[in-house]
Amino acid sequence: MGKKFIKSNFLKLLFILVFILIMEFILIFTAYKKNSINTGFFKIKNYNSKKTIVILIDICENTLNVFQNGNIIKSYTIASGKPSTPSPIGTWVITNRGTWGDGFGGRWMGLNVPWGKYGIHGTTHPNSIGWASSHGCIRMRNKDVEDLYKITPIGTKVIIWGGNYGNFGSYLRPIKPGMIGSDVYQIQKILRDKGYYKAAPDGIYGEYLKNVVHKFEKDNNLPISDTIGYNFYKKLGVELMD
């Protein structure tokens, strides 16, 4: 009788201890998942959820670096825009976010680029990562964009660097009506500073910019042409120097 009683109590005690261990495991796992989903703390070393981040994208090297307190806390390989559909060089801000469909890897972070819809998102074509292969957006591997999305609120600054020459990137391309991009945006800003362009720069070579180009050409004794080329750049004071 005594042995049965002792054995019964032992089994009850063992059951209680196992139950307590299981509950502790559940609580720890729940806390881990909460922190991982909400802050990315367990996936991004040295990340501080109370401080802002800055994203620097180098489309020459196809890399995306996350800075906090002046230090890189995470680096990713990305895909940038093709030469025919370049990514928007410049300093932008995340203005909208969403859990978009599979084609965007389930995550979207939109930029305030005035001449089109550009953002950072995932992809169904992971083999494109590492190349200039997109239509202008910044593509990431889906697991990478999920991590970045967790720590990137609206208002985050995004700097896209495309070469040594600011918004012109790595070279001066001939610009024709209908073209869009950072270089068009910069031309409009320079023409505005010179008193020619009276509207807000939008990075689009439309009819109004064409009229402004003709006026500038006439005032500077240049042949009237729709195309912004070498002589126009020179008169405008844009010369790329190493």
Tokens at 78, concatenated? 């990305």
Those residues with Cβ within 8 angstroms of residue 211's Cβ, 6 or more apart along the chain or in another chain: none
Q: Which of 60, 125, 135, 137 is catalytic?
A: 137
d(CA 77, CA 133): 13
Catalytic residue among 121, 125, 135, 214: 121
For residue 86 the two structure tokens come to 């370049």
Q: Give CA separation, 132 vs 85, 128, 136, 242, in Å.
A: 9, 8, 9, 24
Q: What is the DSSP string of 60-102?
A: TTTEEEEEETTEEEEEEE-BEE-TTS----EEEEEEEEE---G
**60 noted as active-site residue:** no
What span, in angstroms and rounded, lies between the C-alpha atoms of 78 and 130?
Answer: 5
- Whose tokens are 């972070």? That residue is 109
121 catalytic? Reply is yes
Query: What's the rounded Cα separation, in Å, for the pair 90 and 229?
Result: 22
Q: How many CA atoms lie within 13 A of 201 on its CB side?
A: 18
Structure tokens at 230: 């070498």
For residues 83 and 26, give the distance between their C-alpha atoms in angstroms, rounded to a whole number: 51
Question: Which residues are identified as catalytic?
Answer: 121, 137
